[in-house]
Structure 1
Amino acid sequence: MTSSCAPGRPGPIVLTATVRSSDGTVPTGPISFSNGSTVIGSPVLDPSGQATFTPQLTPGRARITAAFAGVGELKPSTSRVLNLRVGPGSTCVVRERSHHGTNNSNNNNNADASGGGGIGHKRHHRF
Protein backbone atom coordinates (compact mmCIF):
# COMPACT_ATOMS: atom_id res chain seq x y z
CA MET A 1 0.00 0.00 0.00
CA THR A 2 1.20 3.48 -0.77
CA SER A 3 0.01 7.02 -0.19
CA SER A 4 0.44 10.22 -2.16
CA CYS A 5 2.18 11.81 0.85
CA ALA A 6 5.88 12.51 0.58
CA PRO A 7 8.19 15.01 2.29
CA GLY A 8 7.85 18.40 0.67
CA ARG A 9 4.73 17.39 -1.29
CA PRO A 10 1.65 18.61 0.54
CA GLY A 11 -1.72 17.86 -0.97
CA PRO A 12 -4.70 15.55 -0.67
CA ILE A 13 -4.11 12.06 0.67
CA VAL A 14 -4.67 9.34 -1.92
CA LEU A 15 -4.20 5.69 -0.91
CA THR A 16 -3.40 2.90 -3.37
CA ALA A 17 -3.38 -0.84 -2.64
CA THR A 18 -2.13 -3.39 -5.15
CA VAL A 19 -2.89 -7.10 -4.79
CA ARG A 20 -0.86 -9.67 -6.71
CA SER A 21 -0.96 -13.46 -6.72
CA SER A 22 2.15 -15.60 -6.99
CA ASP A 23 0.82 -17.30 -10.13
CA GLY A 24 -0.12 -14.07 -11.93
CA THR A 25 -3.86 -14.27 -11.31
CA VAL A 26 -5.36 -10.80 -10.94
CA PRO A 27 -7.66 -10.82 -7.89
CA THR A 28 -11.10 -9.23 -7.87
CA GLY A 29 -13.26 -7.76 -5.14
CA PRO A 30 -13.06 -4.95 -2.61
CA ILE A 31 -10.16 -3.71 -0.52
CA SER A 32 -11.03 -2.41 2.95
CA PHE A 33 -8.98 0.61 3.97
CA SER A 34 -8.98 1.17 7.74
CA ASN A 35 -7.73 3.80 10.14
CA GLY A 36 -6.98 1.77 13.25
CA SER A 37 -9.97 -0.53 13.65
CA THR A 38 -12.39 1.70 11.72
CA VAL A 39 -13.08 0.90 8.07
CA ILE A 40 -12.93 4.18 6.13
CA GLY A 41 -13.65 2.90 2.62
CA SER A 42 -13.90 -0.21 0.44
CA PRO A 43 -13.09 0.46 -3.22
CA VAL A 44 -13.09 -2.44 -5.68
CA LEU A 45 -9.90 -3.70 -7.31
CA ASP A 46 -9.57 -2.62 -10.93
CA PRO A 47 -8.57 -5.04 -13.73
CA SER A 48 -4.88 -4.52 -12.89
CA GLY A 49 -5.38 -5.49 -9.23
CA GLN A 50 -5.24 -1.94 -7.82
CA ALA A 51 -7.67 -0.02 -5.64
CA THR A 52 -7.34 3.73 -5.11
CA PHE A 53 -9.15 5.69 -2.43
CA THR A 54 -9.22 9.33 -1.25
CA PRO A 55 -10.18 9.18 2.44
CA GLN A 56 -11.82 11.81 4.61
CA LEU A 57 -9.65 11.82 7.74
CA THR A 58 -9.63 13.88 10.91
CA PRO A 59 -6.50 16.02 11.39
CA GLY A 60 -3.90 14.29 13.55
CA ARG A 61 -2.28 10.89 13.27
CA ALA A 62 -3.69 8.04 11.19
CA ARG A 63 -2.69 4.35 11.13
CA ILE A 64 -3.86 3.09 7.74
CA THR A 65 -4.09 -0.53 6.59
CA ALA A 66 -5.54 -2.18 3.51
CA ALA A 67 -7.16 -5.61 3.76
CA PHE A 68 -8.13 -8.08 1.05
CA ALA A 69 -10.78 -10.58 2.20
CA GLY A 70 -9.67 -13.30 -0.20
CA VAL A 71 -11.56 -14.86 -3.06
CA GLY A 72 -11.58 -18.39 -4.44
CA GLU A 73 -8.21 -19.95 -3.63
CA LEU A 74 -6.64 -16.59 -2.75
CA LYS A 75 -6.09 -16.20 0.98
CA PRO A 76 -7.02 -13.03 2.94
CA SER A 77 -4.20 -10.56 3.50
CA THR A 78 -3.57 -7.27 5.34
CA SER A 79 -0.94 -4.67 4.48
CA ARG A 80 1.61 -3.23 6.86
CA VAL A 81 0.52 -0.15 8.80
CA LEU A 82 1.12 3.17 7.05
CA ASN A 83 1.53 5.95 9.64
CA LEU A 84 0.43 9.37 8.42
CA ARG A 85 0.08 12.85 9.87
CA VAL A 86 -3.11 14.36 8.53
CA GLY A 87 -3.77 18.08 8.09
CA PRO A 88 -7.05 19.95 7.58
CA GLY A 89 -9.11 18.68 4.66
CA SER A 90 -7.39 15.24 4.67
CA THR A 91 -4.13 16.70 3.40
CA CYS A 92 -0.61 15.37 3.86
CA VAL A 93 1.45 16.98 6.60
CA VAL A 94 4.45 14.64 6.76
CA ARG A 95 5.02 11.08 5.77
CA GLU A 96 6.33 9.08 8.69
CA ARG A 97 8.33 5.91 8.53
CA SER A 98 6.21 2.75 8.65
CA HIS A 99 7.02 0.41 11.51
CA HIS A 100 7.51 -3.19 10.42
CA GLY A 101 6.39 -5.97 12.75
CA THR A 102 9.13 -7.39 14.93
CA ASN A 103 9.47 -9.70 17.88
CA ASN A 104 10.63 -6.77 20.03
CA SER A 105 8.08 -6.42 22.83
CA ASN A 106 9.25 -2.83 23.44
CA ASN A 107 7.94 -1.73 20.03
CA ASN A 108 4.35 -0.63 20.59
CA ASN A 109 3.90 0.24 16.92
CA ASN A 110 4.23 -3.23 15.45
CA ALA A 111 2.51 -3.55 12.12
CA ASP A 112 0.42 -6.53 11.15
CA ALA A 113 1.74 -7.86 7.88
CA SER A 114 0.76 -10.88 5.87
CA GLY A 115 2.24 -12.02 2.61
CA GLY A 116 -0.91 -14.01 1.94
CA GLY A 117 0.95 -17.31 1.75
CA GLY A 118 -0.24 -20.45 3.41
CA ILE A 119 0.35 -24.17 3.29
CA GLY A 120 -2.21 -25.95 1.19
CA HIS A 121 -3.15 -22.95 -0.94
CA LYS A 122 -2.41 -23.19 -4.63
CA ARG A 123 -2.40 -19.43 -5.13
CA HIS A 124 -0.90 -16.81 -2.90
CA HIS A 125 -1.02 -13.07 -3.16
CA ARG A 126 0.69 -10.10 -1.58
CA PHE A 127 0.26 -6.37 -1.19
Structure 2
Amino acid sequence: MVTIRGTLENCTITLHPVAAQKVPPNTWAFLFGHEFAHLVESLGTHSATNPANDLKADIAGARYAMAAGYRIEAFLGWVLTEPDKQTDSHGSLEKRVKAISAHFGVPQSAVQGEARRASNYRAAR
Protein backbone atom coordinates (compact mmCIF):
# COMPACT_ATOMS: atom_id res chain seq x y z
CA MET A 1 0.00 0.00 0.00
CA VAL A 2 2.84 2.38 0.79
CA THR A 3 6.55 2.20 0.11
CA ILE A 4 9.40 4.56 0.88
CA ARG A 5 12.53 4.32 -1.23
CA GLY A 6 15.77 6.23 -1.08
CA THR A 7 17.51 7.89 1.83
CA LEU A 8 16.43 10.36 4.48
CA GLU A 9 17.84 13.16 2.36
CA ASN A 10 16.12 12.03 -0.84
CA CYS A 11 13.22 9.62 -0.45
CA THR A 12 10.17 8.87 -2.55
CA ILE A 13 6.88 7.83 -0.97
CA THR A 14 4.54 5.81 -3.19
CA LEU A 15 0.90 5.13 -2.33
CA HIS A 16 -1.26 2.52 -4.00
CA PRO A 17 -3.89 4.66 -5.81
CA VAL A 18 -6.92 2.60 -4.76
CA ALA A 19 -5.72 2.25 -1.18
CA ALA A 20 -5.20 6.01 -1.02
CA GLN A 21 -8.97 6.40 -1.29
CA LYS A 22 -10.07 3.46 0.86
CA VAL A 23 -7.72 3.30 3.84
CA PRO A 24 -8.71 5.42 6.88
CA PRO A 25 -6.35 8.26 7.91
CA ASN A 26 -5.52 6.64 11.27
CA THR A 27 -4.25 3.56 9.43
CA TRP A 28 -2.06 5.62 7.11
CA ALA A 29 -0.22 7.03 10.14
CA PHE A 30 0.86 3.54 11.18
CA LEU A 31 1.67 2.40 7.63
CA PHE A 32 3.86 5.48 7.06
CA GLY A 33 5.43 5.01 10.50
CA HIS A 34 6.28 1.39 9.67
CA GLU A 35 7.97 2.28 6.38
CA PHE A 36 9.72 5.30 7.93
CA ALA A 37 11.08 3.03 10.69
CA HIS A 38 12.61 0.72 8.07
CA LEU A 39 14.44 3.74 6.70
CA VAL A 40 15.62 5.50 9.86
CA GLU A 41 16.24 2.49 12.08
CA SER A 42 18.08 0.36 9.49
CA LEU A 43 15.51 -2.43 9.53
CA GLY A 44 15.91 -3.52 5.91
CA THR A 45 14.08 -2.38 2.83
CA HIS A 46 10.47 -3.23 2.01
CA SER A 47 11.39 -6.42 0.15
CA ALA A 48 14.69 -7.25 1.90
CA THR A 49 13.50 -7.84 5.44
CA ASN A 50 12.40 -10.69 7.68
CA PRO A 51 9.54 -11.15 10.16
CA ALA A 52 11.66 -10.13 13.18
CA ASN A 53 12.83 -6.89 11.55
CA ASP A 54 9.37 -6.21 10.22
CA LEU A 55 7.91 -6.53 13.72
CA LYS A 56 10.57 -4.09 14.95
CA ALA A 57 9.46 -1.68 12.20
CA ASP A 58 5.82 -2.22 13.26
CA ILE A 59 6.63 -1.33 16.87
CA ALA A 60 8.86 1.65 16.02
CA GLY A 61 6.34 2.93 13.48
CA ALA A 62 3.55 2.54 16.01
CA ARG A 63 5.53 4.64 18.49
CA TYR A 64 5.81 7.42 15.88
CA ALA A 65 2.10 7.30 15.05
CA MET A 66 1.02 7.19 18.70
CA ALA A 67 3.32 10.12 19.53
CA ALA A 68 1.41 12.07 16.88
CA GLY A 69 -1.90 11.16 18.56
CA TYR A 70 -3.10 8.28 16.38
CA ARG A 71 -4.92 5.30 17.94
CA ILE A 72 -3.12 1.96 17.88
CA GLU A 73 -6.21 -0.10 18.74
CA ALA A 74 -8.02 1.32 15.69
CA PHE A 75 -5.06 0.45 13.47
CA LEU A 76 -4.72 -3.09 14.83
CA GLY A 77 -8.46 -3.64 14.42
CA TRP A 78 -8.23 -2.49 10.81
CA VAL A 79 -5.33 -4.90 10.18
CA LEU A 80 -7.43 -7.80 11.44
CA THR A 81 -9.92 -7.12 8.63
CA GLU A 82 -7.16 -7.80 6.08
CA PRO A 83 -6.59 -11.36 4.82
CA ASP A 84 -4.03 -13.12 7.05
CA LYS A 85 -1.47 -13.85 4.39
CA GLN A 86 1.96 -14.96 5.52
CA THR A 87 5.12 -14.07 3.63
CA ASP A 88 8.80 -14.83 4.17
CA SER A 89 9.55 -11.13 4.59
CA HIS A 90 6.61 -10.05 6.77
CA GLY A 91 5.26 -13.16 8.53
CA SER A 92 1.60 -13.47 9.56
CA LEU A 93 -0.52 -10.33 9.99
CA GLU A 94 -2.52 -11.93 12.79
CA LYS A 95 0.63 -12.87 14.72
CA ARG A 96 2.02 -9.38 14.22
CA VAL A 97 -1.19 -7.82 15.58
CA LYS A 98 -0.98 -10.01 18.68
CA ALA A 99 2.71 -9.18 19.20
CA ILE A 100 2.18 -5.43 18.74
CA SER A 101 -0.84 -5.33 21.05
CA ALA A 102 1.08 -7.33 23.69
CA HIS A 103 4.08 -4.99 23.38
CA PHE A 104 1.93 -1.91 24.01
CA GLY A 105 -0.48 -3.57 26.47
CA VAL A 106 -3.53 -3.14 24.25
CA PRO A 107 -6.32 -5.52 25.34
CA GLN A 108 -7.45 -7.98 22.67
CA SER A 109 -11.05 -7.01 23.42
CA ALA A 110 -10.27 -3.43 22.33
CA VAL A 111 -8.63 -4.67 19.14
CA GLN A 112 -11.58 -6.96 18.37
CA GLY A 113 -14.03 -4.10 18.94
CA GLU A 114 -12.08 -1.94 16.51
CA ALA A 115 -11.99 -4.82 14.01
CA ARG A 116 -15.80 -4.87 14.05
CA ARG A 117 -15.85 -1.10 13.51
CA ALA A 118 -13.31 -1.40 10.66
CA SER A 119 -15.42 -4.12 9.01
CA ASN A 120 -18.41 -1.76 9.04
CA TYR A 121 -16.24 1.05 7.61
CA ARG A 122 -15.06 -1.20 4.78
CA ALA A 123 -18.60 -2.40 4.05
CA ALA A 124 -19.78 1.20 3.70
CA ARG A 125 -17.07 2.01 1.15
TM-score, structure 1 as length reference: 0.28
**Higher Cα Rg, which structure:** 1
Structure number with higher helix proportion: 2
TM-score, structure 2 as length reference: 0.28
Structure number with higher strand proportion: 1
